[in-house]
Chains A and B, each alone.
Chain A
């Protein structure tokens, strides 16, 4: 986890990294992120030239290809503004993965600086802006899947804390929460059998608690889990956790935040 101090006052402007998955499949999660940030009075800039954080090639072992993509991303997100991303895994790519694959490269410093400006959105709200309450209301049981890339970061705590303050919303705990859902990017393609078994175990544990909705800070895990469940004839309603914040956002939920800065 990046150890960095909270913002003394909310930044006026942030750059938004939509992630390739949201770009391709989950526009709702990206929209919700923008709306929440804007609701907080922050200007959100969405660079049109953005593509991907480089993670697929990084995890797949093709670091050369990955570095080329990262270099493009560095250019697109140049500047001093914080970069907000609705994915723990893309966030980790920016502040952990990229510095690793750039260890011997000349632009390592730039990579590190860019990583240091990058925030997973919940970590940004909770630790960065110091928001501790979200006063909307939502009726139902929510299971939270902590994605592996948010292990050891502030995100799981942030998601649970913020959702926990929503009126009527009940957080339910399922068994073996620390176990991976089995996605792992190219892993799920190269190791289809193990990946499926891992996901099936996770789905079993989640469904046991009969939640109304499964949420996470990473759409990739949810895509994998939802896809597996559907193919085996089960229904697993799932969304990005930020969509819940957006759906429950109202004047009073925002006034707390604004009053505190």
Chain B
């Protein structure tokens, strides 16, 4: 039975993985809802406001980018701009070489995954360690990132224990405490050894040049404490105009992502180590990454750049819950990924990922939970239209063609005639009806009896009777 790639992926998915993804994301949604609305009865108005703040920033991105650059420089940061993925990796490599850094700790940064930084640095001879526990496990597994907030939602602890055993981190033991302790021991050495650390940034204030990084494990803080050099890889859409905007966005981010009022660690980084400070990097580099973001900004789907990567849309998405993150074949999964990934892939990459926008029943749950009110279903629809206009085969797969239908639907006489003649279908067993999509529908469902024309004749007859 042919079907779309994601549907096939979901069908083949290991039962255990499916259960962990579904229960993990459902729990995330429940927690978010509880915490958000308990604390803020008017949470929906906050979402709208946050959406407006982010949209305003995007609408004036050139201005705020300039302001952020100036403020960061005034704080003693070095600011770099990377046009694409390769430039971002080159830029990071150049900084590392200049400062003679070999061992690098890294805390979660989706944009670094997007540009393939880990592989690129490994190829160029650097030792890079992911320091978020979940990320670390992925790295050991050589697994692809398919997450935004919970990197190993698709793994259970016995799998993790096997991974640790395989990589010489002790004998098989699946107690979470043991796993954590072993990872900690391993990482502690790396923290002490590392000359440089790489982080992402959740927000950068254009007003003060303050950068905000949130984690739950404190791993970014550890990385910063031990290293001489800090490199932050930041998508240009991460800027907000003022410091005060952070209060709104941070309140929404933690609650939407993990149901926490605030993540355990929320760091504000204004520049390199201040004089007299006990620890902290002497050099602070910010690499602003474009990687087709300006292209997205110029498209009719620009609202997706408001995204603050909270993952709420994935957790609530019934398709993601069935299919898991890997099904989306890119760094950003779920509804957010279904919009962002094909766009970031550019004109050459779009055809490859044009099926992603189809992977939605357009139920609207993602829009309802999004802390920055992104109309995700509308954007999915716009990308479907684009796929159609570009005659994309991947997007078209298994969607019944609509041309003939539209033609009939413009002619009332033809329409009524087909409604009536289709009554004959009632006499045929489904398998005999020569229309592919019907076959797929009736494999798992019965079809109600066709009653074409009945309503209209009822309406006509009673009018006559009334006369």
Contact = CB atoms under 8 A, between A and B. Distances in A.
Contact of B6 (A62, A65, A194): A194
B363 interface: yes
B445 A231 contact: yes
Contact of B318 (A62, A151, A198): A198
A68 B446 contact: no
Nearest to B445: A227
B342 to A, nearest CB: 13
Interface of A: 18, 20, 22-27, 30-31, 34, 46, 48-52, 54, 56-66, 68-69, 71-72, 76, 97, 100-101, 103, 148-149, 151-152, 176, 178-180, 182-198, 223-224, 226-228, 230-232
A230 B389 CA distance: 38
A48 to B, nearest CB: 7
B148 interface: no
A198 B447 contact: no
Of B10, B359, B362, which is in contact with the most chain A CB atoms at under 10 Å from its CB?
A: B362
Given A51-B412, A191-B7, A180 B446 contact: no
Given A60-B384, A148-B362, A193-B7, A65 B402 contact: yes
Given A51-B409, A180-B361, 14 more contacts: A24-B422, A51-B408, A52-B409, A54-B409, A68-B409, A148-B365, A152-B368, A179-B365, A180-B318, A183-B361, A189-B400, A190-B399, A198-B319, A227-B448
Interface class of chain A by DSSP: helix
15 contacts: A23-B453, A51-B412, A54-B409, A62-B385, A62-B401, A65-B405, A69-B409, A69-B410, A152-B364, A178-B368, A179-B363, A184-B361, A190-B3, A193-B7, A227-B442
Query: In the complex, which of the residues A63, A149, A192 has the most CB atoms of chain B within 10 Å of its own CB atom?
Result: A192
A223 B384 CA distance: 25
A31 B365 CA distance: 32
Nearest to A225: B445
B455 A190 contact: no
Q: Which 6 A-B pairs have the closest CB atoms?
A: A184-B361, A61-B384, A227-B445, A180-B363, A65-B406, A27-B455
Interface residues of B, number: 71
Interface string B356-383: 0111111111001000000000100110
A148 B384 contact: no
A193 B318 CA distance: 12
Contact of A194 (B1, B10, B395): B10
B446 A227 contact: yes
A197 B322 CA distance: 8
B458 A31 contact: yes
B405 A63 contact: no
A69 B406 contact: yes
Interface string B423-466: 00000000000000100111111111111111110110000000
Contact of B381 (A31, A59, A72, A198): A59
Given A27-B454, A191-B4, A192-B443, A226 B361 contact: no
Nearest to B12: A193
B16 to A, nearest CB: 16
A56 B455 contact: no
A198 B361 contact: yes
Contacts of B382: 100
B388 A62 contact: yes
A52 B389 CA distance: 22
A62 B455 contact: no
Which of B26, B403, B406 is the most central at the interface, judged by chain A CB atoms within 10 Å of its CB? B406
A48 B445 CA distance: 31
Given A66-B402, A188-B441, A48 B361 contact: no
A170 B212 CA distance: 51
B395 A61 contact: yes
A27 B412 contact: no
A26 B368 CA distance: 30
A83 B233 CA distance: 53
B323 interface: yes
Of the candidates A64, A178, A191, the one having the most CB atoms from chain B within 10 angstroms of its own CB is A191
